[in-house]
Chains A and B, each alone.
Chain A
């Protein structure tokens, strides 16, 4: 039977079992929205800005193992979506974006709401397609989902001209699809795995460094077993938090620019480093030359060969699906009669524990006068039992959330790590809440970030999303202010925000509950009250210490051991 292009698109989404699509209608997608209207399998979430549609699809994907879906119109609909697409690309999030395009006969004529969607998004998608014939829609969408979720995941854009969505073609959804130029890695090479096992068994100062790949690759259980078997310290990147439980004794905390002293020192001074699903980026190991000064053997397991040996030299590269590779490594280690040298391991842990004492873990000086932002996060952790889904925006509050909320499970920590997109937190929380109904979802944000997508409070009302927003309001773009204090002679250029809105009234104007909290003594009762309101979105405006800084800090361009601790200042 022949269907229109728009019918085919919706049928494809149904075939992919898409429960929610996030989007915003417009001229070029009118036929698609007409078909959405005629069915109820794919539920559409109407956002208030296309950037939010993509972030919501992103949160939906990060907090589940599903592919997020967003639908946007041509021109400004697509350009508004680009920040969201780039955010997903940097963090390897599986997503399919369907964008409308002007009719094929108008392409290239500077038509109303025309942009070169494929051209604009090319550098920030895993792949993209322009569909010029309705008979190609089904296979293209099948390919888009396949590409998005396999290998190193990422966003895939399908651009569909308006006339194509209105022309008819026979619909048949392919069972499977293969692309001759695309072969996502599977199992690891067994020789390399045996080699890796040997290196780890012979290590005197082993260290395991795990990133977002462990979370995305659902390899958390294998990682935990491996770390326990080897007895080595384990650190997570910002993207990897929850991939290894923060409550485990072998966890030394997050590493990197605002990581723990012990994680960074252990990273610097280990003799065998196992990197799993991580990419040695600039916020993680800082100065590459400084990192290379201490000799160590590096084993790097990643699904993307281009992540290996990009910034640091690697002794043993292993390109594979992490879950499979770690499973194979476990099998080899378990069947081996060798064990890591207990005495060497004990003396390594003695050293690591000395660093733990010196760094003092995460610490700050609490106050009875002014709310310390770290205290808010600690209290949030306490009240939610460490079990909530936490989204964040970007800045100081993001780092405090990463440092003080102890994530024990993967996919609970949802933040824009790679691109660092302010405005991510609230719309991402919408996607998280929808795919995890009944679960506690909190968005930790700042008064700067929240205003970048605050219009989504309206979406939250429409779809009854009981998200808890915790705004750490210090009246400054805090991370900018911190860098200006440290590196720009206290010249706070444009980092102070005057004329902030009354967030309580603003929340109420959108139909939600607003709270303003000024005193440290009120923090815990307020959070308790907010989380007791299971059906309401509660916006908590915490007036926090405006001079608080994030510590520890490895300044940009410095080495991991060149850290500023809180007491150094």
Chain B
């Protein structure tokens, strides 16, 4: 099953490689991994999307907690949570396609952030599945380039991951 795991870790050189190394050494899946410093500059927040049986997910949580640089771990998918991913996508937009693609971007609440004679670059935010749907709607033949950040997640309401 797909799980989205959030963690706080020391904002130190090498901390990211400890997490990434743990996943590769123990053969766990990483679907995506995002990381950036928090409002407290000594800490970084990471979101990992992974998948595995309950036993594997339990081990992932325990092994992450065991890393000395990891301050706190939360499996967001164990409760209510929000998940967003940012995508920048450059598409071929010529002739009559231009209006159609503009409408499509609007429907998906995307924004066109760069325009050339033959291309649009669209910014789109949402759950991963929404981004997938947009790409499918546009059609592979028009897609020139996609950049995705991977999912970032946060608990709903009072679910807070903080030191």
Contact = CB atoms under 8 A, between A and B. Distances in A.
A304 B17 contact: no
A123 B25 contact: yes
A122 B18 contact: yes
B10 A181 contact: yes
Contacts of A119: 17
Given A122-B21, A123-B21, A305-B65, A181 B70 contact: yes
B66 interface: yes
Contacts of A126: 68
Contact of B69 (A123, A181, A306): A181
Contact of A306 (B9, B18, B63): B63
Interface residues of A, number: 17
A182 B68 contact: yes
B58 A181 contact: no
Interface in B57-78: 58-59, 62-63, 65-66, 68-72
Contact of A304 (B10, B21, B66, B68): B66
A532 interface: no
How many chain B residues sit at the interface, stated as a range, is 20 to 34
Contact of A147 (B13, B68, B70, B71): B68
A157 to B, nearest CB: 12
A310 B59 CA distance: 7
B19 to A, nearest CB: 11
A306 B68 contact: no
Contacts of A305: 62, 65-66
A119 B62 CA distance: 22
A124 to B, nearest CB: 10
B106 to A, nearest CB: 45
Contact of A309 (B10, B13, B58, B68): B58
A180 interface: yes
B147 interface: no
B160 interface: no
A513 interface: no
Contact of B59 (A130, A181, A182, A306): A306
A122 B68 CA distance: 12
A180 to B, nearest CB: 6
Nearest to A183: B65
A127 interface: yes
Given A122-B21, A123-B25, A181-B10, A306 B163 contact: no
A564 interface: no
A118 interface: yes
B137 interface: no
Interface in B138-163: 163
B59 A180 contact: no
A343 interface: no
A379 B42 CA distance: 60
A304 B10 CA distance: 21
Contacts of A306: 59, 62-63, 65-66
Given A118-B14, A122-B17, A306-B63, A180 B58 contact: no
A144 B72 CA distance: 21
Interface string A540-556: 00000000000000000
Contacts of A179: 68
Contacts of A181: 9-10, 68-72
Contacts of A122: 14, 17-18, 21
Contacts of B17: 119, 122
A152 B27 CA distance: 23
Contacts of B1: none
Residue of A118, A123, A127, A181 with most chain B CB atoms under a 10 A cut-off: A181
A251 to B, nearest CB: 32
Interface string B109-131: 00000000000000000000000
Interface string B41-58: 000000000000001001
Given A181-B10, A309-B55, A309-B58, A127 B68 contact: yes
A119 B13 CA distance: 11
Contacts of A118: 14
A180 B68 contact: no
A180 B71 contact: yes
A305 B68 CA distance: 14
Interface string A289-331: 0000000000000001110011000000000000000000000
Contacts of B69: 127, 181
A152 to B, nearest CB: 8
A122 B18 CA distance: 7
Interface in A117-173: 118-119, 122-123, 126-127, 130, 147
Contacts of A147: 68
B53 to A, nearest CB: 12
B139 to A, nearest CB: 43
Nearest to B22: A123
Residue of B21, B59, B70 with most chain A CB atoms under a 10 A cut-off: B59
A298 to B, nearest CB: 14
A181 B68 CA distance: 6
B14 to A, nearest CB: 6
A154 to B, nearest CB: 10
A71 to B, nearest CB: 22
B55 A180 contact: no
B145 to A, nearest CB: 31
Q: Which 5 A-B pairs have the closest CB atoms?
A: A306-B62, A181-B71, A127-B68, A305-B62, A123-B25
Given A122-B21, A180-B163, A181-B68, 16 more contacts: A118-B14, A122-B14, A126-B68, A127-B68, A130-B13, A181-B10, A181-B71, A182-B68, A304-B66, A305-B62, A305-B66, A306-B59, A306-B62, A306-B63, A306-B65, A309-B58
Interface of A: 118-119, 122-123, 126-127, 130, 147, 179-182, 304-306, 309-310
15 contacts: A118-B14, A122-B14, A122-B17, A122-B18, A123-B21, A127-B68, A179-B68, A180-B163, A181-B9, A181-B68, A181-B69, A181-B72, A305-B66, A309-B58, A309-B59
